[in-house]
Chains A and B, each alone.
Chain A
Amino acid sequence: MKISMTSLLGIKPVYAHCDLPCGVYDPAQARIEAESVLQIMKKYPGLDHQEDKWRAVFIKEQRADLVKQHLWVLWTDYFKPEHLEKHPNLHDLFWQATKQAGNCKKTVDPAEGQVLLDMIAEIDAVFKATKAA
């Protein structure tokens, strides 16, 4: 068992509180899930069995939820007020994209899935601009 000198001396921790320890953020996570949503929408009309259709809709809803989750993490943890100053449409981009992820749960129209991917591409462009700054 490893016992540090500081714990022996009873020195308490103080937190230099930071973001996720890995510090890894990337809109690619949301994009990959959104691509799954779109592909399921495209395949849906060709499914022959009702069970397959139910399963497709179920998985599409799960993936759309993951899109929301990944976008929320980016929005709330990665982006900072100084990014908003340079990209004033940032909040609206995230709001519209997460709403669109919700819309994709209600439909199997691939056009809606493509709109979601386009919105994530816009967020990705802002993300890359902040990384380049």
Chain B
Amino acid sequence: MIVIRRIVGNSMLPTLRPGSIVVGWRASAWSKLKVGDVVIIEHGGLEKIKRISQIKDQQIFLLGDNPSESKDSRDFGWLSEDAVRAILIWPRYT
């Protein structure tokens, strides 16, 4: 199932600009996450978008592409893979 969202905030600059539209696949139990994926997670009652930096024991460590302005796993720690709501498929990024 497709998920469409609009970016709010600067933490994923320069990859994703505020106001841009992103498209993802809704995550399921069969989703295979990998390091480098940009994912939409649910955290603190909000949907947030970050990049997976590390995966260990079904836990993920997330970073923003703009680390000087990002609140991410450096602040809130490792999250369960279950927090992932969608995996970005567009725009394509490297």
Contact = CB atoms under 8 A, between A and B. Distances in A.
A133 B67 CA distance: 14
Given A17-B70, A18-B71, A12 B10 contact: no
Interface of B: 4-13, 16, 18, 21-22, 40, 46-50, 64, 66-72, 74
Contacts, number: 71
A11 B20 CA distance: 11
Contacts of B69: 18-19, 23
B8 A16 contact: yes
B91 to A, nearest CB: 14
Given A11-B4, A12-B5, A17-B72, 20 more contacts: A12-B4, A13-B6, A14-B8, A14-B22, A14-B49, A15-B8, A15-B49, A16-B10, A16-B11, A16-B12, A16-B48, A16-B49, A16-B64, A16-B70, A17-B9, A17-B48, A17-B64, A17-B70, A18-B11, A23-B68
A-B complex: 10 closest residue pairs judged by Cβ atoms:
A14-B5, A16-B9, A16-B12, A16-B11, A18-B69, A18-B11, A13-B8, A14-B47, A17-B71, A18-B9
B70 A18 contact: yes
Contacts of A11: 4-6, 21
Looking at chain A's contact residues, the main secondary structure is mixed
A80 interface: yes
Given A14-B22, A15-B46, A6 B6 contact: yes
A15 B70 contact: no
Residue from A11, A14, A15, A82 with most neighbouring chain B CB atoms (10 Å): A14
B26 to A, nearest CB: 13
A81 interface: yes
A6 B74 contact: no
